[in-house]
Amino acid sequence: MSGDVFRDICCAEKRGINTEVLEQILYIAVEIAREGREGRKIGTLFTVGDELAVMEHSRPLVLDPLFGHPNEKKQITLHDVRETIKELAQLDGAFVISNDGIAISAARYIDVLSDGVKIPLGLGSRHMAAASITRRTSAVAIVVSESSMVRVFDEGKIISEILPEIWMMRKHGLFMNMPTAKERSTEDIVVRTRTDM
Ligand SMILES: Nc1ncnc2c1ncn2[C@@H]1O[C@H](COP(=O)(O)OP(=O)(O)OP(=O)(O)O)[C@@H](O)[C@H]1O
């Protein structure tokens, strides 16, 4: 996915949120949604940007496993950090990611205020926390639901819902749009083939 596509689903750039970092976290979120951990589905929450304000509006739920490591070892572009995040995603709470792509804290409870947030009925407290923190700060939040859906929040509301499988198909160019596809039909089967392969 190019940064341009990402800007289409998130207005973060307007407020100076780093869209490349958002994109990286979105990839990790999609991977968590697809892979789960040790054979079971897991959910988690990321905040990206405005990290000082997010830290102010949140509390540790356990001793912070990311605390005390040098920043250069906590860059989300590093393979080891991505794998660590996937492992720590099994813990309750949220990851706080700084605007320059450092995983600064894990397993944080986000203080929640429901004033001014708009989320559909049926979503639970993780989604409410994401809506609330994006309403109170300039951060953008990404929720991986245990139901495998990935949702992006900005300014107290959902701005994008991502089905991980469709996302991955798009990434690998597996969609066959009409202009590049040809169709052959037999009695009850339609075969669509890319013509540009
Ligand atoms: N305020 C919060 N800050 C950080 N994490 C939270 C907060 N509230 C809930 N969570 C996390 O969300 C988890 C799931 O809670 P809940 O089932 O109510 O959320 P949900 O929005 O329905 O998410 P899911 O779709 O994944 O079930 C909790 O176990 C906890 O880890």
CATH number of the domain encompassing residue 55: 3.40.1700.10
- Angle, helices 79-88 vs 19-35, to 10°: value is 50
Q: For the residues 82-87, what does the mean pLDDT come to?
A: 97
Which residue's C-alpha comes closest to atom 27 of ligand 1?
146
Confidence at residue 81, expressed as pLDDT on a 0 to 100 scale: 98
- Does position 102 have pLDDT exceeding 90, yes or no? yes
The residues, any chain, with a CB within 8 Å of residue 83's CB and separated by 6 or more, are none
- Portion of the chain with pLDDT greater than 70, in percent: 77
Per-residue pLDDT band at 13 (split at 50, 70, 90): low
Smallest Cα–Cα separation from 58: which of 139, 133, 140? 133
Q: For the residues 73-89, what does the mean pLDDT come to?
A: 97
Q: What's the CA-to-centroid distance between 90 and ligand 1, angstroms? A: 12
Which residue's C-alpha comes closest to atom 12 of ligand 1?
126
* CA 82 – CA 88 distance, rounded (Å): 10
Confidence at residue 192, expressed as pLDDT on a 0 to 100 scale: 45
Q: What's the CA-to-centroid distance between 171 and ligand 1, angstroms? A: 28
For residue 11, the enclosing domain spans: 3-194
3 CB near ligand 1 (under 6 Å): no
* CA 29 – CA 43 distance, rounded (Å): 9
61 CB near ligand 1 (under 6 Å): no
pTM, to two decimals: 0.85
- Does position 122 have pLDDT exceeding 60, yes or no? yes
Structure tokens at 149: 């859906």
Confidence at residue 197, expressed as pLDDT on a 0 to 100 scale: 38
Q: Which range is most confident: 18-27, 93-102, 156-165? A: 93-102
What residue has token string 């992006």?
152
Structure tokens at 5: 């596509």
Q: How many CB atoms lie within 10 A of CB 155?
A: 15
Confidence at residue 170, expressed as pLDDT on a 0 to 100 scale: 66
129 CB near ligand 1 (under 6 Å): yes
Per-residue pLDDT band at 196 (split at 50, 70, 90): very low
The residues with which 143 forms a beta bridge, in sequence order, are: 45, 151
Counted domains in the chain:
1
Confidence at residue 177, expressed as pLDDT on a 0 to 100 scale: 47
Residue 73 is which amino acid? K
148 CB near ligand 1 (under 6 Å): no
What residue has token string 């309750």?
92
Q: How many CB atoms lie within 10 A of CB 183?
A: 10
